[in-house]
Amino acid sequence: MQAAVFDLDGVVTDTAKFHFQAWSKLAKEEFNLDLPASFETNLKGISRTESLEAILKFGDLLDKYSKEEVQNLANKKNDYYVEAISKLTKEDILPGITKLLTDLKANGVKLAVASASKNAPFILEKLGLAHVFDAVADPAKVNAGKPAPDIFLAGAKAVGVAPNQCVGVEDAIAGVSAIKAADMVAVAVGDKDELRQADCVVPTTRNFTYQLFSDVFDRYHK
C-alpha cells in the first residue's frame, strides 16, 4: 500500500447534514417543496448538479428549468452550504481519523482526497487538515462522477501512485463502485450489506486503523 485515497464527507468529517439542510432550504424557497428526511440518501455521493436534478425530478419540475437556471440554483444552494461549513473546526473530524492519517503518513503512505465536493480544500482548511493531505483531486477536471472511477484515478495520479497500489476509502455505494472500477482496494464505513462490494466494511470510523488498511491490502494482493 503506497497511497490511501479518501472520500471526504462521511469519511473524514460529516457535512452531509449541512448539504441536506441547504438543499431543503433551496427546495422550499424556490419550488415550495418539502424534502422528506429519507430523500437525503438519494443525494449521497453525487455531484451538485445531479443532486439538484434529483430534487427537480422528485417535484416533477425537471423540464421547467434551463441548464443555466439549474446552474444558478445549484450555486445558490452552495452559498447556503458554504455559510454552514464555515463554522467547521478540528472538533468536527470523525473519530479515529486523525490517528489514522498520522499513522498512514508515519508509514510512508501518501494521502489524497477524492471527493465530489468542490469545497473539499475549504473544508480541509477548516478542519486543520489541509497540510496533512498530499493532494486533493479536482472534481471539475474529471470527465465523470462516481460511480465512474475518474476522481479516484485522479487522486492516485496526483500523488504519483499506481491505482493498484492504493486503498480507497468510502461510505457510499457509488463511491465503493468507483474505487473498485479504479482497480483499488476498497475499505468502507457503514452498512455491511449495503456496501458489500467493498473489500472490508467497518461500522464506524473508530474502527479504521493503519493495521486494518495494511492487512486488507495485503490480503487482496496475495
Q: Would the annotation count 128 as a binding residue?
A: no
DSSP H/E element including 5: strand 3-6
Q: Do residues 61 and 97 both lie within one domain?
A: no
- Domain C-terminal end among 25, 50, 85: 85
Is 218 catalytic? The answer is no
> Any idea what the CATH number is for the domain that residue 171 is in?
3.40.50.1000
Neighbours of 62 (CB within 10 A): 14
pLDDT per residue, tens digit, the chain (222 aa), is 999 999 999 999 998 788 899 999 999 999 999 999 999 988 877 788 889 999 999 999 988 888 899 999 999 999 998 998 998 999 999 999 999 999 999 999 999 999 988 889 999 999 999 999 999 999 989 999 899 999 999 999 999 999 999 999 999 999 999 999 999 999 999 999 999 999 999 999 999 999 999 999 999 987
> Any idea what the CATH number is for the domain that residue 69 is in?
1.10.150.240
First-last CA distance in the chain:
13
Give the integer Cα–Cα distance in Å for 101 and 109. 9
Tell me if the pTM is above 0.85. no
Is 7 catalytic? The answer is yes
Q: Domain span at residue 7?
A: 3-14+89-220
Give the integer Cα–Cα distance in Å for 122 and 110. 20
Q: Do residues 93 and 77 both lie within one domain?
A: no
Q: Do residues 142 and 162 both lie within one domain?
A: yes
Number of domains composing the chain: 2
- Domain C-terminal end among 85, 106, 137: 85
- Alpha carbon distances (Å) from 218 to 25, 36, 40, 179, 193: 46, 42, 35, 17, 23
Backbone Cα Rg of the chain: 17
> Active site residue: 9, 103, 150, 199, which one?
9
